[in-house]
Amino acid sequence: MREVAILGVGMTRFGELWDSSFREIGIQAGLSALVDSKLSSQDLNALYLGNMASGTLLEQEHIAPLLMDYAGLAGHHLPAIRIEAGGASGAVALHQGYLAVASGKYDFVVVGGAEKMTDVPDVAANRILGGTADQEWESVFGATLPGLWALMARRHMHDFGTTREQLASVPVQAHEMASKNPNAHYRNKITLEQVLHAGPVAEPLGVFDCAPLSDGAAAVVLGPAERARKFTDIPVRIAASEMATDTLALQHRSSITRLDATVVAAKRAFAHAGKSPKDVQVAEIHDAYSISALLALEDLGFETKGHAGAAFADGTYGIGGRTTVNPSGGLKAQGQPFGAVGVAQVVELVRQLRGLSEARQVAGATLALSHDVGGTGATSVVHLLERMN
C-alpha cells in the first residue's frame, strides 16, 4: 500500500446556515481545500462525500455527482461517491479516500463531508436521527439518540461513580475552546452551573450536554505521501485509518459503558502506526453527548475504564494538559452537521499539526487522533495523523 498524505484542508462555518444551500456549503468546503492544497481541479481523480441523510433532509439522493456538477467539474466525469454511516459518514468517507489513494488507482482525491440539518423541523430531524440507531428495535418504541446515550451515562455513573459535575465539565471545556474558533456554531462560554441547571433532554443529560444539529461542510485533499512536499511545506501523513462496527441496538451489546467498535478501531490504529495514546498530543473525539467524550477517552485507551470523568474534570484534556481534546470545540460547540463531523475533525487536526491554530494551538503537536462515531457506536472510526518532518 502507498502511504497517503493530506495536502489541503477547508471547511465552512458550522451553524444555522439558512442563507446557504447544501450545494453551496459543499462547494465552498471543497474548493477551499483544493486551493489550500495548491492542486488544480485538473489534477483531481475522484471525490468521496460523507453524508447521512440527504434523502430525508433534502429529498435529494445521488449527491456526490451533484456536488461535482455544481462545482463546475461535471465535464471531468470523475468518480464521485457518497458514503453513509450515520454520524460517522465523514470519517468513513475518509477511510475510502485513503484506500483509493493507497491502492494506486487514484492519485488525488477530495474527501468531503456535508450535512444541511436545520431546514427541517426539529421533530423531523430527531426522527431522522433515530434512523442511525435500530429502527425496528429502538426508534419505533420511542428511544431517541439522546435517550440511548442517557442510558449509557446513568450506567457509567452507577458502575464507576462518575458524577453529574464531571459530565458537565465536558461541555464547559467545549464552549471554552469554541470561543476561540471562528467557525464554531457556539462561541459563548458557559459555566458548570449553567450546565447543571439547564432543562433536561434525557436525564441525566440536559440541554448543554447535547451537541446541536448544525449545517456545515468540510473537505480534505489526499495524495500519495511521496509527492506531498510538492504541494505543502508541512505535509501530514495518515499514519492509520481504521474502522470497526458493532450491533446497531444498544440492548444487543455485552456492555453499555464501552463502545467495542471504538476499542477495536483504536487498537488496530495504534498497532498499525506503532504508537500508543501517550504519543498523541491532540485529539478530536466524539462528544455528541457529555458521556460520549468520557466513553471515548476510556475506549481509545487514554484512560482506564471508569476514570475519564475525574480526569476530564481535573483539566487533563484541556489546553496545556497531557493530551488536548477537542480544541475545535468538538461536536458540542463547533457543531454537529452529521456527515461533515469526521472530516471537520481532521481539518482541525491538520491545522494543529501545521501550527496554524492561533489562539487554540497545541504547542509542538506532531501526532493527532480523530475519533468519529455513528449512532450509539455501531460504527467507529479512528485516524492517526502525523506531521511529516
| Residue ranges in contact with a copy of itself by CB under 8 A | 1, 52-53, 55-56, 58-62, 64-66, 68-69, 74, 77-86, 92, 95-96, 99-100, 102-105, 127-128, 130-136, 139, 243-249, 252, 260-261, 264-265, 374-375, 378-379
Q: Which is nearer to a copy of itself, 59 or 233 (CB)?
A: 59
CA distance 114 to 108: 20
Residue with cell 473537505: 219
Strand order in the sheet with 109-115: 46-50, 109-115, 216-224, 4-11, 236-245, 379-387, 367-374, 282-284, 324-325
Q: Which is nearer to a copy of itself, 4 or 157 (CB)?
A: 4
**C-beta separation of 298 from 306 below 8 A:** yes
What are the backbone dihedrals phi and psi of residue 241, each rounded to the nearest 5 degrees, phi first?
-140, 105
Cα-Cα-Cα-Cα dihedral of 317, 159, 300, 33, to 10°? -60
Q: Which is nearer to a copy of itself, 136 or 233 (CB)?
A: 136
Entry field: residues in the chain: 389
Helix or strand run (H / E) with residue 366: none
Task: Work out how close the CB of 235 gets to a copy of itself at its nearest, in angstroms, rounded to a whole number.
Answer: 20
Task: Work out how close the CB of 364 gets to a copy of itself at its nearest, in angstroms, rounded to a whole number.
Answer: 31
Task: Work out how close the CB of 262 gets to a copy of itself at its nearest, in angstroms, rounded to a whole number.
Answer: 10
Q: Which is nearer to a copy of itself, 67 or 153 (CB)?
A: 67
Task: Work out how close the CB of 278 gets to a copy of itself at its nearest, in angstroms, rounded to a whole number.
Answer: 24
Q: Cell digits for 211? A: 451537541
Q: Which is nearer to a copy of itself, 25 or 78 (CB)?
A: 78
Task: Work out how close the CB of 244 gets to a copy of itself at its nearest, in angstroms, rounded to a whole number.
Answer: 4
Indicate if the alpha-carbon torsion angle 147, 15, 182, 300 is positive or negative: positive
Task: Work out how close the CB of 82 gets to a copy of itself at its nearest, in angstroms, rounded to a whole number.
Answer: 5
Q: Which is nearer to a copy of itself, 9 or 244 (CB)?
A: 244
Q: Which is nearer to a copy of itself, 74 or 271 (CB)?
A: 74
Task: Work out how close the CB of 18 gets to a copy of itself at its nearest, in angstroms, rounded to a whole number.
Answer: 16
Q: Quick one: three-class SS letters along 35-75?
A: HHHCCCHHHCCEEEEECCCHHHHHCCCCHHHHHHHHCCCHH
